[in-house]
Structure 1
Amino acid sequence: MQDKENTTHFGFKQIPTDQKVDAVAQVFHSVAAKYDIMNDLMSGGIHRLWKRHTISQSGVRAGQKVLDIAGGTGDLTAKFSRLVGQSGQVILADINDSMLKVGRDKLANLGVVGNVQYVQANAEELPFPDNTFDCITIAFGLRNVTDKSKALASMQRVLKPGGRLLVLEFSKPETECLSTIYDHYSFRLLPFMGKVIANDAESYRYLAESIRMHPDQETLKGMMEEVGFERVTYQNMTGGIVALHKGFKF
Structure 2
Amino acid sequence: MPRPLRPPSPTRRTAPPPQTLPPNTSPPRRAGHDELAAFFRADQQQFPAPGGVVFVGSSTVRMWKNLGQDFRQVPGIVNRGFGGSTLADCSLFARDLVVRYRPRQVLVYAGDNDLAEGRTPLQVLESFARFANAVRAELPNTRISFISIKPSPSREHLMSQIRETNNVISAYLNRLPDSEYIDVFTPMLGADGRARPELFRSDRLHMTDEGYRLWQSIIASYL
Q: Sort the TM-score into its range (normalised by shorter chain).
A: 0.3 to 0.5
Larger proportion of strand: 1
The structure with more radius of gyration = 1
Greater relative contact order (Cα 8 A, min sep 6): structure 1 or 2? Answer: 2
> Given the two structures, how large is their TM-score scaled by the length of structure 2?
0.42
> Given the two structures, how large is their TM-score scaled by the length of structure 1?
0.39
Larger proportion of helix: 1
